[in-house]
Amino acid sequence: MRILVSSIFHEGNSFSRLQTGLANFATVHGEALLEKVSQGSSALAGGCRALAAAGADILPGVSAVAPPGGPVEDTVFESLRSEILSGLEAQRPDGVFLDLHGAMVTESLDDPEGALIAAARRALGPQAVIAVSLDLHAHVTPAMLECADIVVACKENPHTDYDLAGERAAGLLVETLQRRVAPVTASVWLPFIFGAQMETGRGPLAALHAKRREMMAADPRLLDISIYNCTTLVDVPDGRQCITAIADSDAEVARAAAVELATLFWQQRDAFVSDFMPLRDALSAVAKGRIARPVILGDQGDRVLAGTPGDGTAILAELAAHWPELEAVVPVTDPAIVVAARQAGIGAEIEEPLGGALSSGVEPFRRRWQVAGLGDGRFVQDGPYLRNEPAMLGDTAILRSGKLTVLAMSLPGFTQDPAAFRSQGIDLADKDVVVVKSGYHFKISFETIGPCLVVDTPGISNYRPGLLPFAKRRPIHPEDAISEPRLTARIFGQLA
Ligand SMILES: [Zn+2]
């Protein structure tokens, strides 16, 4: 079995003005890809481990991973897609395993992953097996399911199981090639979106996942059930909730499972209500010693992990105005101030507006800063989410004023991981407040450092019905009044 493996991993945000370019991607090719997956926790790493265990010959393509952000530039996606396709055409593998996010958008495509999978199918013909692992925040499309044999999501949010999703997808690829299984997929789309209670271990999704596990345990013909919670911040026609069930040779088994779970999900559609903490309440609790320090605050409105630029200043402004006694560190994406700090040098003072240059409606924060450090923004993540995966913040500058420390970054980055701060020389232990641009994943990476709270801040990643200019993603609940849908499954696969 000769299997080509590749990854393009990016979660889109249609409402960010900051496009995603080549500089945002950590990219490796060929032998360097094999080196990377030997350590990593991505789906690509898990998939490669499963393929190696099955004795497959792994043909490395490309791995390109960027933090979530605005639409990917067309030229960047085209160059990654053609690299994968030329690999397929030159090597003619028996199968391909793709680790994709599933909610990428480009300047001109709403479903670039569907287009990539379709092109891979055209290149390889009907006999080859195509397996794909996705993030559970994917917008799953008919194009993906028509052209791939196996599409599997991770199951946990915060994501701790990308590698398991990769193992599962690659394992099914092997079993399909060996004709031990014949996967058939049933898929039900649900016309609603939500922006809170998105964790799978608590709230409405916990019960749904318990039911999923129960159904899988009860019927060995079920090969996978994936519950997709399409990211709230893409404006695409298929951007809705989706349940897929894969069964071995039996479309009815898949259909029954997908429809049963989809019906339960639809009944829960109004349970996903915001429970984020008011910012002032959180800072007051810290100041009054009611909560252990450092407290880690997830900036719900400006989550780079939902594709915002990370240049929000709401928490900085609140700290400066009302809580000057708190020792705090706040990351802010602002390439201009990083350049100014580097020109001034360590120890110098600068007075430049900070933040607000990349997002609409964000007030820049003004203050005289001392440049306390400079860095290259490179680090390796060490939390459970993307452990051992390389990441970058672009060039950085550490700015100090009173008890405020700012980690100024040139690129929006993965600050849900403590290594983002430590690698740039920031000690977290002496802080009262550590701000991160994440709403979920930081909880698993920072839980040993301090209590983790998500605070209710303004910004495009704090979803409230009626505020985002959705055009393609309509009609959808709760943006629109819609009639009760008939929850029927579409069937995909060689047996469909
Ligand atoms: Zn996700």
Question: 232 in a domain, yes or no?
Answer: yes
Do the Cβ atoms of 438 and 298 come closer than 8 Å?
A: yes
In a domain? residue 475: no
Which regions of 230-301 does DSSP assign to beta strands (E)? 241-248, 277-278, 295-299
Instruction: Please tell me the distance between residue 139's alpha carbon and the centre of ligand 1 in angstroms.
Output: 11
Q: Which residues pair with 187 in a beta bridge?
A: 244, 490
Q: What is the pLDDT of residue 487?
A: 96
- Ligand 1 center to residue 423 CA distance, Å? 24
Span from the CA of 234 to the centroid of ligand 1 (angstroms): 13
- Tokens 């398991």 belong to 164
Distance 305 CA to ligand 1 centre (A): 8
Q: How far is the CA of 372 from the centre of ligand 1 (A)?
A: 34
Beta pairing, strands 390-392 & 378-380: antiparallel
Span from the CA of 285 to the centroid of ligand 1 (angstroms): 30
pLDDT at residue number 227: 98
Instruction: Verify that 97 and 224 share a domain, yes or no.
Output: yes
The alpha carbon of 312 and the centre of ligand 1 are apart by a number of angstroms equal to 21
CA angle 222, 228, 231 (to 5 degrees): 170
Q: 78: buried, middle or exposed (CB in 10 Å: 19+, 13-18, 0-12)? A: middle
User: Could you tell me if 360 and 386 lie in one domain?
Assistant: yes
Q: Round to the nearest angstrom and report the end-to-end CA distance of the chain.
A: 25
368 and 250 within one domain = no
User: How far apart are alpha carbons 168 and 289 in whole angstroms?
Assistant: 46
Q: So what's the pLDDT on residue 386?
A: 87
Q: What is the pLDDT of residues 429-447, one digit of tens each?
A: 999 999 999 999 999 999 9
| Residues 329, 441 within the same domain | yes
Identify whether residues 190 and 292 lie together within a single domain. no
User: Is 473 domain-assigned?
Assistant: no
Cα–Cα distance for residue pair 381/309, rounded to 1 Å:
20
358 and 226 inside one domain: no
**CA 478 / ligand 1 centre spacing (Å):** 21
- 294 Cα–ligand 1 center, Å: 26
User: How many helices and strands in the chain, by DSSP H and E?
Assistant: 13, 21
Partnered with residue 445 across adjacent β-strands are none
Q: What angle do CA 474, 476, 480 make, to 5 degrees?
A: 90
Residue 466 placed within a domain: no
CA distances from 308 to 312, 384, 389 (A): 9, 22, 21
In a domain? residue 52: yes
Ligand 1 mean position to 226 CA, how many Å?
13
Helix H or strand E encompassing 149 = none
Give me ligand 1 centre to Cα 325, in Å.
Answer: 36
Q: How many residues in the chain?
A: 496
> How would you class 279 by CB atoms within 10 Å of its CB: exposed for 0-12, middle for 13-18, buried for 19 or more?
buried
In order along its 496 residues, the chain shows pLDDT tens digits of 999 999 999 999 999 999 999 999 999 999 999 999 998 899 999 999 999 999 999 999 999 999 999 999 999 999 999 999 999 999 999 999 999 999 999 999 999 999 999 999 999 999 999 999 999 999 999 999 999 999 999 999 999 999 999 999 999 999 999 999 999 999 999 999 999 999 999 999 999 999 999 999 999 999 999 999 999 999 999 899 999 999 999 999 999 999 999 999 999 999 999 999 999 999 999 999 999 999 999 999 999 999 999 999 999 999 999 999 999 999 999 999 999 999 999 999 999 999 999 998 999 999 999 999 999 999 999 988 888 888 999 999 999 999 999 999 999 999 999 999 999 999 999 999 999 999 999 999 999 999 999 999 999 999 999 999 999 999 999 999 999 999 999 999 975 5
Residue 389 pLDDT: 87
CA of 200 to the centre of ligand 1 (A): 11
Of 64, 61, 129, nearest to 90 by C-alpha is: 61
Q: What's the confidence (pLDDT) of residue 495?
A: 56
Rounded to the nearest angstrom, the distance between the alpha carbon of 353 and the centre of ligand 1 is: 32
Per DSSP bridges, beta strands 183-190 and 241-248 are antiparallel
Bond prior to 475 in cis (omega within 30° of 0):
yes
Domain match, 381 and 249 both: no
Is 463 contained in some domain? no
Give residue 135 CA to ligand 1 midpoint distance, Å: 5
148 contacts 131 by C-beta, under 8 angstroms: yes
Q: 240 and 337: one domain? A: no
Q: How far is the CA of 26 from the centre of ligand 1 (A)?
A: 18
The C-alpha atoms of residue 293 and residue 287 are separated, in whole angstroms, by 10
pLDDT of residue 238: 82
The rounded Å distance from CA 385 to ligand 1 centre is 10
My answer on whether 60 and 101 are in the same domain is yes
- Residue 464 in domain: no
In a shared domain, residues 356 and 258: no
Tokens coding 162: 């990308």
Domain that includes residue 433, residue range: 277-456
Beta carbons within 10 angstroms of residue 38's beta carbon? 12
- Which helix (H) or strand (E) segment holds residue 275: the answer is none
> Cα of 193 to ligand 1 centre, how many Å?
15
CA of 440 to the centre of ligand 1 (A): 9
Do 85 and 77 form a contact (C-beta atoms < 8 A)? no
- 295 and 443 in a single domain? The answer is yes
Separation of CA 212 and ligand 1 centre (Å): 19
pLDDT at 383 (0 to 100): 87
d(CA 376, CA 423) in angstroms, rounded, equals 9
The pLDDT tens digits of the residues spanning 272-296 come to 999 999 999 999 999 999 999 999 9
- Tally of domains in the chain: 2
Q: Does residue 462 belong to any structural domain of this protein? A: no
Are 253 and 290 contained in the same domain? no
DSSP codes joined into one string, 31-77: HHHHHHHTT--SHHHHHHHHHHHTT-EEEEEEEEE--SBSPBPHHHH
